[in-house]
A and B are shown apart, each in its own frame.
Chain A
């Protein structure tokens, strides 16, 4: 089977690891909050986060709100819609049961706003010597992703959580 040659992508925000400017520091702070799903104190002005005052909101809620409120102005608006399936990608590190999964949180909050439906989820299993079938559920394993950072092999299988 021929692998996809191009992958269209869009990102709502960006951050620069080396930046020392005010905006750069803000972006790094925001990145950490998104990764850890730490509640943010932000103020929405014209639909966009403008600072660290205001009411607390979870980063996943903030992301979904920003996408929803500004959807028609985003260059990747066609990524979302009621006929779209939202698939949270697994974390690079091995996930344990009940471990934080920011991608799933974002996908679910997007779903709440009618921007798609979360129907496929994946759960990591440490199966370096394991079978091609999940020992937990007997489901066939579909995902197989190698962690490029730790060189730790994980196998992933589809799992309906919603």
Chain B
């Protein structure tokens, strides 16, 4: 599943349930371009690391 912004995940969960009903044998995962966080120290602009740019992806 693809979404632009992930906040609490309600949309993902609802969609996952419907997909699971239709395709019970299919593995379902969720990708969001951006995720809402509550703590600034968890801020990431690169998918893994804390983000003060320039940023680079986590090695390994």
Taking Cβ atoms with an 8 Å cutoff, the residues of A that contact B are: 1, 3-4, 7-19, 21-24, 26-27, 30-31, 34-35, 45-51, 59, 63, 66, 70, 73-76, 79-80, 86-90, 92, 102-103, 106-107, 110, 142-146, 148, 156
Task: Report how far A4 CA is from B30 CA in the complex, Å.
Answer: 13
Task: Report how far A137 CA is from B51 CA in the complex, Å.
Answer: 46
A85 (CB) vs chain B CBs: closest residue:
B26
Contact (Cβ within 8 A) A7 B2? no
B8 (CB) vs chain A CBs: closest residue:
A148
Q: Which chain B residues lie closer than 8 Å to A11 at the CB level?
A: 6, 31-35, 47
Contact (Cβ within 8 A) B2 A70? no
Contact of B11 among A4, A48, A59, A92 (CB under 8 A): A92
Task: Report how far A5 CA is from B30 CA in the complex, Å.
Answer: 14
Task: Report how far A43 CA is from B42 CA in the complex, Å.
Answer: 23
Q: Which chain A residues lie closer than 8 Å to B52 at the CB level?
A: 22-23
Contact (Cβ within 8 A) B14 A23? no
Q: Which chain A residues lie closer than 8 Å to B16 at the CB level?
A: 4, 7
CB contact under 8 A between A63 and B33, given known A31-B5, A75-B48, A102-B4: yes
Task: Report how far A90 CA is from B11 CA in the complex, Å.
Answer: 8
B39 (CB) vs chain A CBs: closest residue:
A16
Secondary structure call for the A interface = mixed
For B, the interface residue count at a CB cutoff of 8 angstroms equals 52
Q: Which chain B residues lie closer than 8 Å to A7 at the CB level?
A: 9, 12-13, 16, 28-30
CB contact under 8 A between A4 and B15, given known A12-B47, A75-B48: no
Task: Report how far A31 CA is from B5 CA in the complex, Å.
Answer: 8
14 new A-B pairs (CB below 8 Å) besides A11-B33, A13-B45, A16-B37?
Answer: A9-B30, A9-B32, A11-B47, A13-B33, A14-B36, A24-B40, A34-B33, A35-B5, A46-B54, A48-B45, A48-B46, A48-B54, A48-B56, A92-B10
- Shortest C-beta distance, B35 to chain A (Å), equals 4
Contact (Cβ within 8 A) B4 A15? no
